[in-house]
């Protein structure tokens, strides 16, 4: 069984899960039954995507109970509240997605707050899981943790090889520390705590706020507004940065596979291939085409571009899961735009 929310589901992806089969009882030192999987950050972009895959696409298995938490259930920066919510649900497995997140410009203004809040959240979740003898935790990192000065493509061995980009160093270093903690829990206690590193995720239930949202979703909102108002579309930056965009439903299916099958403590990059990298300018033009925006597009080069590129290799993922099918970008973008328009009144914007 899975606990459902009342929000409308995102559209179905045409891609079918490609993960190998495994027993319903996932690996854990816990002997409790049934398997109870607690998802922190359950109301966010990835949490909603996992909920959709589990409840609408047959992703749950017999004997599994899925519990999706939001910030309304507990403030995970508070250790007492974290322990209380874990005691309430007694999970056997955890997918840890909760984080203080924001867009580029908010990060630049509040690096210290991003560091402090995320360090608290991550330590509270991981150590509470350890104290409750939960042997399996999958946490979510971000491609922004990669070194700013590096060679490309970046792979999983290069995470700590230099400072991250200065624009969001607080968030990036806090996320890197999850990898350090995972290794500590593995070496000291034998815990199977690991992490995934998605590239630029987008999809239904994202934060579409024009200033603080993720780049693609903020651009969808900006483009829609410009179309409605009959005004030019103002894009911050030059449009030159390159990004690997990946659909949230694809990431959801991959995170579930990692929880069940992936045995390493070392993180794994979840991304489309290097050849699927596109520029912000190309993304803007595709959004304009999808939303039928015919107006002028203006690039404000007085605004920062952030990292120009952070190309990641998905060779490790492909070696373990060679047949996984990613949703084509145009289809995923259309489904996301459709969701935004159909749920405009409830979308985070």
List, for residues 240-256, the tens digit of each pLDDT value.
999 999 999 999 999 99
Residue with the larger pLDDT of the pair 113 and 60: 113
Q: What's the rounded mean pLDDT across residues 182-199? A: 97
Per the rule left: phi > 0, alpha: psi between -120 and 50, beta: everything else, 190 is left
**41 phi-psi bin (left φ>0, alpha ψ -120 to 50, beta other):** left
* The two structure tokens encoding residue 88: 């309430």
Alpha-helical regions (H) of the chain:
45-56, 79-89, 104-109, 111-131, 169-189, 215-229, 248-261, 280-290, 315-320, 329-342
Q: Which of 1-10, 163-172, 251-260, 265-274 bottoms out in mean pLDDT, i.e. has the lowest?
A: 1-10
Instruction: Name the β-bridge partners of 192.
Output: 136
Q: In whole angstroms, what is the distance from residue 18 CA to residue 338 CA? A: 26
* pLDDT tens-digit map of 114-137: 999 999 999 999 999 999 999 999
Dist CA 146 CA 53 (whole Å): 29
The conformational region for residue 234 under phi > 0 = left, psi -120 to 50 = alpha, else beta, is beta
d(CA 279, CA 243): 6
Contact 222, 287 (CB under 8 A): no
Q: What is the mean pLDDT of residues 150-160?
A: 93
pLDDT of the residue at 209: 80
**How high is the pLDDT of residue 11?**
45
Q: Which residue has the higher pLDDT, 120 or 148?
A: 120
Checking if the pLDDT of 346 tops 90, the result is no
Helix then strand then coil, in percent of the chain rounded to 5, is 40, 15, 45
pLDDT band at 108 (very low <50, low <70, confident <90, very high): confident
Residues 272-329 pLDDT 10s: 988 889 899 999 999 999 988 888 898 988 887 777 888 999 999 999 999 999 999 9
The pLDDT, as a whole number, for residue 17 is 43
My answer on whether omega of the bond before 149 falls inside 30° of 0, hence cis, is no
Q: pLDDT tens digits for 203-262?
A: 998 888 877 777 888 899 999 899 988 898 888 889 899 999 999 999 999 999 999 999
Residue 262: active-site member: no
Q: How confident is the model at residue 263 (pLDDT cuts 50, 70, 90)?
A: very high
Reading phi first (left if > 0) and then psi (alpha if -120 to 50, else beta), residue 115 is in alpha
pLDDT (0 to 100) of residue 33: 65
**Res 274: pLDDT:** 85
pLDDT greater at residue 176 or residue 56:
176
| pLDDT-based confidence at residue 3 (cuts at 50, 70, 90) | very low
Q: If you count them, how many residues does the chain have?
A: 349
List 169, 171, 185, 193, catalytic entry: 171
Residue 13 has pLDDT above 90, yes or no: no
As a whole number of angstroms, the distance between CA 177 and CA 181 comes to: 6
Tokens of 239: 């449009």
193 phi, psi to nearest 5 deg: -100, 130
């Amino acid at each position: 069984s899975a606990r459902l929310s009342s929000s409308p589901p995102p559209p179905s992806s045409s891609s079918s899960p490609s993960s190998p089969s495994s027993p319903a009882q996932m690996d854990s030192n816990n002997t409790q039954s049934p398997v109870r999987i607690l998802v922190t950050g359950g109301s966010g972009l990835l949490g909603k995507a996992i909920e959709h895959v589990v409840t609408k696409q047959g992703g749950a298995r017999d004997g599994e109970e899925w519990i999706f938490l939001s910030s309304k259930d507990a403030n995970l920066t508070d250790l007492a509240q974290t322990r209380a919510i874990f005691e309430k649900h007694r999970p056997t497995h955890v997918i840890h997605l909760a984080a203080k997140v924001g867009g580029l410009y908010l990060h630049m203004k509040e690096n210290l707050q991003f560091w402090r809040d995320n360090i608290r959240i991550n330590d509270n979740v991981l150590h509470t899981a350890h104290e409750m003898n939960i042997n399996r935790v999958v946490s979510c990192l971000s491609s922004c943790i990669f070194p700013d000065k590096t060679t490309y493509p970046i792979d999983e061995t290069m995470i700590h090889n230099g400072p991250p980009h200065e624009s969001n160093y607080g968030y990036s270093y806090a996320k890197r520390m999850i990898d350090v903690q995972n290794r500590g829990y593995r070496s000291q206690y034998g815990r199977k705590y690991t992490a995934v590193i998605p590239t630029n995720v987008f999809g239904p239930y994202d934060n579409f706020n024009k200033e603080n949202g993720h780049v693609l979703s903020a651009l969808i909102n900006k483009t829609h507004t410009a179309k409605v108002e009959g005004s030019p579309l103002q894009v911050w930056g030059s449009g030159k940065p390159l990004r690997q965009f990946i659909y949230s439903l694809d990431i959801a299916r991959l995170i579930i596979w990692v929880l069940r099958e992936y045995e390493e403590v070392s993180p794994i990059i979840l991304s489309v291939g290097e050849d699927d990298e596109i520029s912000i300018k190309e993304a803007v033009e595709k959004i304009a085409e999808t939303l039928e925006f015919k107006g002028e597009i203006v690039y404000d080069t007085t605004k920062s571009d952030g990292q120009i590129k952070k190309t990641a290799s998905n060779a490790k993922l492909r070696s373990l899961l060679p047949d996984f099918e990613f949703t084509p970008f145009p289809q995923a973008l259309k489904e996301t735009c459709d969701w935004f328009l159909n749920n405009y009144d409830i979308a985070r914007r």
